[in-house]
Structure 1
Amino acid sequence: MKIGVVGLGSMGYGIATSLLRSGHEVFGADVNADAIKRLRAEGGSQADIASAANQLDALVVVVLNAAQAEDVLFGKDGLVGWLAADAVVMLCVTVAPDFARLAAQKCAENEVHFLDAPISGGSVKAAQGKLSIMASGTPEAFTRARPALDAMAETVFELGDAAGAGSAMKAVNQMLAGVHIAAMAEAITFGMTQGIDPETFIKVIPRCAGTSWMLENRAPHVVSGDFTAHSAIDIWPKDLGIVLDAARASKFSAPITAAALQQFLAASGMGLGREDDAAVAKVYARNAGLTLPGADK
């Protein structure tokens, strides 16, 4: 297949290279020209994605948020208007379910298939082609997207024949993921106040009932003092904001999610927005007068 990937950040770049390894012709687009050059050096097409749009079988969108997705797909230079009939748009961005439904409608008006396909698994699994994809869309959209899905994902959850269900499931996942990261930060710093150093924390807790995937993945970042962003702090005000907007619309109280959001907002307010989301531990450390490992780095 000829596949365009818009958004070559940590997740999108991994997706693009997984598609390349599976033999697809990949066209990359990103505001960072260096990311495009890097992809081309690894075998990506030398052609500009806009000039190749009418040849694409699939367009994978991995940008930051709904506003960027709207611009990429339907804006002044939106790609949907240039895609060939029967191409499929795979929206891998965390967005509100209502946005996914509206995007599907607009694609249909252009005779383009749409798959609501948010992703989970992090940058490492993206690069390995082992993501989990929570997908919903018409049977035709799944059929058109199948070769790309097979290259990108270890598991594809087929959640229905209409857009919106995939994004709703992603909201549930993000509710848990965001809460678990904040809880990890709270627990590891609480342990420090009780004389338990972070190194001991990650030796013990992953073997106990209080563990989580997020704890096991993020706590080592705190221990190493390396907050190079794999998933940045500033992602969470957006994602948990989506969760809370949906909860509010359903008249559903989500106080634990709201508390986690406040910690990410505090971290962003401290200037940590572009650091790894494990850096939310710095909020707790500051408030408790603690010194995290590697604080002098």
Structure 2
Amino acid sequence: MRHPVGIIGVGNMGGAMAMRLRDCGWPVQVCDTDPARIQLLEPFGAVAQQTPAQLAINSVAVIVCVVNAAQTDEVLFGPQGVAGVLQSGRTVILCPTISPQDVESFAARLGERGIHTVDAPMSGGPQRAREGTMSLMVASEPTVYDRQAALLQALSSKVFHISSNPGDGARTKLVNNLLAGINLVGAAEVLALAGRMGLDLEKTLDVIEQSSGQSWIGSDRMRRAIAGDFAPRAHVTLLEKDTCLAVEAARAAGFEGPLGARAAQVFAQAHQAGLAELDDAAIFKYLQGR
């Protein structure tokens, strides 16, 4: 059964998820602080709601796809939040990249109201979200997972059930995104070096893509960077936030590696250099100028 689904936050990823679900025949309601984002989805049959609370009234599952923990707290527990109206036994699916401790706290507070939590951060970008091929790192009780399996599988052909403990999805996502940040900084560094050496950047990247230095994020972002395309798909600030959260999680676990903190520092420096609102491919632009 395709039960009614609400999506709060329909930017690049949330909007792509809404279109994907509508393609698959799911009834979808959407809510966002930016009316223009909602207008883009109405031709697909998504129903607009003014507040998270209004969206939650008739939703069996609510997908939260905002940016950070503060926004998540507001849409869940604020004056017009989901938790005040969502029926006991229904489910909140948390997709933002936030700290494991925040996920655990939100899950506990929702649980006090009889609301289930699926910790489900995502990876892959808007195009893969639209196609249903992004990765979902899911942590939830098995019965809750089974109840939402059809919805999760409509969203993604790559659903990984990490554990029964909300918070472990967030941990997995932070590990992944720390590596993505390290790989992106590394790819930008070597392409900036190749340019300084007088090499053709397109040909250099052709070689890297077929050799031991290849990474998906490096190829994806550096193709855009070489073309001078820094229109934001994922802002510099997102990986700045995610790598910072990952380094904090590493410290909480008593681990300190040689690369993670340095990669996080590069994103912070690019932000300070005025590149915050550009695509994270702009790390190349920042390193090219050094």
Class of the TM-score when normalised by the shorter of the 2 chains: over 0.9
Question: Counterpart in 2 of 1:23?
Answer: 25
Whole-Å Cα distance in 2 between the matches of residues 257 and 57 of structure 1? 39
The residue type equivalent to 2:271 in the other structure is S
Cα deviations across residues 228-273 of structure 1 (Å, max 9, x unaligned)?
1111101122101111111111221133111111111111112111
Q: Structure 1 residues 119 and 60 mapped into 2: Cα distance closer, same or farther (>3 Å)?
A: same
**Residue 117 of structure 2 aligns to which amino acid in structure 1?**
F
Alignment of 1:224-243 (within 5 A): 224-243=227-246
Residue 247 of structure 1 pairs with residue 262 of structure 2? no
Paired residue for 1:131? 134
Cα distance in structure 1, aligned partners of 2:195 and 2:72: 42
| Aligned residue number for residue 94 of structure 1 | 97
Q: Which of structure 1's runs of 4+ aligned residues deviate more than 2 A? A: 46-52
Equivalent residue, structure 2, for 1:8: 10
2: CA distance, partners of 1:216 / 1:280: 13
Distance 1:246 1:94 in 2: 12
The answer on whether the counterparts of 1:4 and 1:27 sit within 8 Å (CA) in structure 2 is yes
TM-score, structure 1 length as denominator? 0.93
Amino acid at match of 1:267: A
Deviation at 1:103, TM superposition (A): 1.1
What's the counterpart of residue 279 of structure 1? 282
In structure 1, the partner of 2:272 is: 269
Determine helix, strand or coil for the equivalent of 2:198. coil
For residue 61 of structure 1, what is the amino acid of its counterpart?
A: V
Counterpart code for 1:145:
Q
SS of 1:39 mapped into structure 2: helix
Q: Does residue 1:154 correspond to 2:166, yes or no?
A: no
TM-score where L is the length of structure 2: 0.96
Tell me what 2:67 maps to.
Answer: 64
Which residue number corresponds to residue 226 of structure 2?
223
Quick one: distance in 2 between partners of 1:147 and 1:45?
A: 21
Query: How many percent of aligned residue pairs carry the same amino acid?
Result: 33
Aligned-partner SS, 1:230: coil
Residues 182 and 280, structure 1, Cα contact 8 Å, conserved in 2: yes
The answer for the alignment partner of 1:165 in structure 2 is: 168
Matched, 1:42 2:48: no
* Pairwise CA distance, 1:46: 4.2
Alpha-carbon separation, structure 2, partners of 1:212 and 1:47: 40
The letter for the 2-side match of 1:144 is: R
CA–CA distance in structure 2, aligned partners of residues 202 and 274 of structure 1 = 25
Partner of 2:233, secondary structure, is coil
- Aligned equivalents of 1:232, 1:172: Cα separation in 2: 19
CA contact 1:113–1:140 (8 Å) conserved in 2? no
- Partner of 1:277, secondary structure, is coil
The answer to whether structure 1 residue 115 and structure 2 residue 121 are counterparts is no
Q: Aligned equivalents of 2:204 and 2:72: distance in 1?
A: 40
**1:229–1:277 Cα contact (<8 Å) kept:** yes
Gaps of 5+ in 1: 288-297
CA apart distance, 1:144: 2.8
**Structure 1 equivalent of residue 192 of structure 2:** 189
Structure 1 residue 274, shift from structure 2 partner: 1.1
Following TM superposition, by how much is the alpha carbon of 1:31 offset from its aligned partner in structure 2, in angstroms? Answer: 1.3
8 Å CA contact 2:30, 2:55 repeated in 1: no
Provide the C-alpha distance between the structure 2 equivalents of 1:282 and 1:209, rounded to a whole number of angstroms. Answer: 24
Q: Is the 8 A contact 1:3 1:25 kept in 2?
A: yes
Which residue in 2 is equivalent to 1:292? none
Contact 1:90–1:145 (Cα < 8 Å) also in 2: no
Structure-2 residue corresponding to 1:293: none
The amino acid of 1:156's aligned partner reads V
Q: Pick from 68, 74, 79 the counterpart of residue 77 of structure 2.
A: 74
The aligned amino acid for 1:219 is M
Residue range with higher mean Cα deviation, 37-46 or 25-34? 37-46
